[in-house]
Structure 1
Amino acid sequence: MPYATGGDADLYYEVHGTGTPILLSAGMGGSGSFWRPQVEALSRTHQVILYDHAGTGRSGREIGPRSIAEMAGDMARVLDAAGVDDAHIAGHAIGGIIGMELALAAPERVRSLTIVNGWAQADAFIRRCFEVRTRILLTSGPQAYVRAQPLFLYPPRWIAENTQLLEAEEAHMVAHFPGIDTMVSRIETFLAFDGRARLSDIRVPTLLAAARDDALVPSYLSQELSDSIPGAKIAEVEWGAHAFTTVSPDVFNTLMLDFYAETDR
């Protein structure tokens, strides 16, 4: 298994396919396995790089609180380990925030930026959602936190129709939970993030992908990003909620491939 070394935490990563590189960065859970519904479609024409954030998954766990800048440095370190000078960067929610930071700090590494269900600053609605999730974690533990998670990520009907899949996913996530302190630290870091003053400095081609039925990060926050990032394009889907990359993978994969084809031309 390949690891990006040289920092304070070894970072697990995977490479699939060949072609123009795409690096995919997960959201709050931090695991590259979040992007499994994208790997087959994207790797037919691109080199797809997945990685686990520091403190999560198969990456090094013995770390303290981590800043957004450090997480962007981790992203660059994975590119280095994979032998990639620049890549299309796509991040889901907080993964998109990390991508924004890299686009500002090292734009030469970013061919394009895709932010999926992201935000420039957490508003009162997001804060209320994560307050509830944090209380569940602190008072009832990881099992209850993971059990509640689909309610924030998926549409009700999809949850009802995919019970067996979600039960298996729940068992896996509990077994590989990053730890309460790590998860609380990640939540606090991203709730504290405020990128509004720097959005106009992002100069790489940017796609903002959002689901109109997202009950965790409302799509109006993607519109606010679109209003502030020069030349940003916004693509909204009607159904799929916060994890529409899993619920409607064909729709999302087509959005990505069309954007990359246009950018690379």
Structure 2
Amino acid sequence: MPTATNGDEDLYYETAGAGPTVAFVEPAGYGAWCWSWLVDALAGPVETLVWDLRGTGRSDAPPGPYDVATLAADLEAVLADHGTRTVHLVGAGLGGMVALQHAREYGRATTLALLGTTADGSRVDADALRDLQAPRDDRDALRASLTEAFSPGVVEAHPEAVDRIAGWRADDDAGPDGWDAQIGAMLDFEMPDLYTVTTPSLVVHGRADAVVPVEAGRDLAEDLPKGTFEGIDAGHLVAAEEPTLLEDALAGQLNEHADLDG
């Protein structure tokens, strides 16, 4: 399996499909499972790339603290290792912050899709963010902690899907130290000079997001020179709760900005 290196840290990634590269950056603590539905839908006319942030899954888990700049450098190491010249970045929560930082620092991003995120970590509900965390060996806690990730009633209405997600989380999520380090990176992030990020940016936000208020998403879209906002009836994990709506939104962005015919 492909592994990139940033300094002493090994970073696991995998790809599927062929065409323009769409790279996904997951939220704090969660494994790449949260992109499963979108990757299955998009792989083919595009190449999808998913990777494990440091502290998560099969990537190395050095002790914290972490910061968004380091995670963006990790992403750059992955893209460089894969030989990606340009990329369409899709980031959720912490991953959206990493995508913003990478777009500003490295110049590879052709488009950004920013899900349930903000450029100001002080706007994150720290308690709700920490409530997403659960021990990987406690299935009941993994299920219960999903309540804050989705809009009200979703967990109770879909017990089989929740059980499946709990199994994925047990295998792929960050351990407790990785969770804490990634949460710290998210809460400490601040990018005041958004005018420097001129990449076309689609900001998608769940109207019932308990972790990052929807108003923060609207403000992010307003402050980005080429930002557009789309609200969805979902919670923090938009990509898992409403993958079809998000697939449509991403397809529209890619049709406008990507050469899907090669």
- Indicate the SS of the match to 2:9: coil
Change (3 A) 1:190 1:145: farther
Q: Is the 8 A contact 1:21 1:49 kept in 2?
A: yes
Q: Give distance in 2, aligned partners of 1:130 and 1:34.
A: 16
Structure 1 position 129 matched with structure 2 position 128: yes
Change (3 A) 1:124 1:110: closer
Structure 1 position 164 matched with structure 2 position 160: yes
Change (3 A) 1:8 1:30: farther
- Indicate the SS of the match to 1:66: coil
Q: If the length of structure 2 is used for normalisation, what is the TM-score?
A: 0.90
Structure with bigger helix share is 1
Change (3 A) 1:104 1:83: same
- Indicate the SS of the match to 2:28: coil
1:106 is matched with which residue? Answer: 106
1:182 is matched with which residue? Answer: 178
- Whichever residue aligns with residue 100 of structure 1, its letter is L
Structure 1 position 194 matched with structure 2 position 190: yes
Q: CA deviation digits over 1:57-77, x for unaligned, max 9?
A: 111124432221110011111
Q: Is the 8 A contact 1:8 1:63 kept in 2?
A: no
Change (3 A) 1:9 1:212: same
Q: Pick the aligned partner of 2:216 from 195, 217, 221.
A: 221
Q: Give distance in 1, aligned partners of 2:127 and 2:30.
A: 21
- Indicate the SS of the match to 1:40: helix
1:19 is matched with which residue? Answer: 19
1:91 is matched with which residue? Answer: 91
Q: Give distance in 1, aligned partners of 2:17 and 2:168.
A: 26
- Indicate the SS of the match to 2:193: helix
- Whichever residue aligns with residue 229 of structure 2, its letter is I
Structure 1 unaligned blocks of 5 or more: none
Structure 2 unaligned blocks of 5 or more: none
2:241 is matched with which residue? Answer: 247
Return 172-181 or 91-100, whichever deviates more: 172-181
Q: CA deviation digits over 1:130-189, x for unaligned, max 9?
A: 35x28x86xx89737534321111123321222122123224423544222221121122
- RMSD over aligned CA atoms reads 2.2
Q: Is the 8 A contact 1:9 1:63 kept in 2?
A: no
Which of structure 1's runs of 4+ aligned residues deviate more than 6 A?
none
Q: CA deviation digits over 1:90-129, x for unaligned, max 9?
A: 101110000010111112x111111101112134661342
How many residues align? The count is: 258
Change (3 A) 1:187 1:207: same
Change (3 A) 1:35 1:236: same
Q: If the length of structure 1 is used for normalisation, what is the TM-score?
A: 0.89
Change (3 A) 1:175 1:110: closer
Q: Give distance in 2, aligned partners of 1:115 and 1:230.
A: 14
Change (3 A) 1:100 1:216: same
Q: Pick the aligned partner of 1:154 from 146, 150, 154.
A: 150
Q: Taking every aligned residue pair, what percent have the same amino acid on both sides?
A: 24
